[in-house]
Amino acid sequence: MAKVSLEQWTERIRTPEIECMDPEQMRKLQSERLINQVERVYKNVAFYRKKMQDMGVEPGDIKGIEDIGKLPFTTKEDLRDQYPFGLLAVPQNEIVRVQGTSGTTGKLTLASYTQKDVDVWGECVARALTMAGLTREDRIHICYGYGLFTGGIGLDMGARALGAMAIPMSSGNTQRQMMCMEDFGATAFACTPSYALYLAEAIREAGLQDRLKLKVGINGAEPWTEEMRHTIEEMLGVNCFDIYGLCEITGPGVAMDCIHHKGLHVYEDYFYPEVLNPVDHTPCRDKETGELVFTTLAKEGMPLLRYRTKDLTSIHREACECGRTLPRIQKFTGRTDDMKVIRGVNVFPTQVETALLSIGSGVAPHYLMIVDRENNLDVLTVMVEVDEAYFSDEIRKLDALKQKVGAVLKQALGVSVRVRLVEPRTIQRSEGKAKRVIDNRNL
In the chain, the domains with their CATH numbers are 16-28+60-337 (3.40.50.12780), 341-439 (3.30.300.30)
**Band of pLDDT at residue 402, cut at 50, 70 and 90:** very high
- Whether residue 91 is predicted with pLDDT greater than 90 in this model: the reply is yes
pLDDT for res 432: 40
- In DSSP terms, 307 is beta-bridged to 74, 294
Look at the alpha carbons of 427, 430, 436, 437 in this order and tell me if their dihedral is positive or negative: negative
337 pLDDT band, cuts 50/70/90, is: low
Non-local (6+) Cβ contacts of 260 within 8 A are: 6, 320, 321, 322
Q: What are the φ/ψ torsions at residue 228 (nearest 5 degrees)?
A: -65, -40
Phi and psi of 83, rounded to 5°? Answer: -60, 140
Average pLDDT, the chain: 91
Q: Stretch 15-37: mean pLDDT, rounded?
A: 98
410 beta partners: none
| Residue 233 CB-density burial (10 A; 0-12 exposed, 13-18 middle, 19+ buried) | middle
Cβ(230)–Cβ(253) below 8 Å: no
Mean pLDDT of 302-308: 98
Question: Average pLDDT in the 275-280 region?
Answer: 93
Answer whether residue 441 shows pLDDT above 70.
Answer: yes
Q: How confident is the model at residue 431 (pLDDT cuts 50, 70, 90)?
A: very low
Q: Are 48 and 41 in contact (CB under 8 A)?
A: yes
Residue-wise pLDDT for 248-275, tens only, equals 999 999 999 999 999 999 999 999 999 9
Please say whether the beta carbons of 311 and 293 come within 8 A: no
* pLDDT over 60 at 406, yes or no: yes
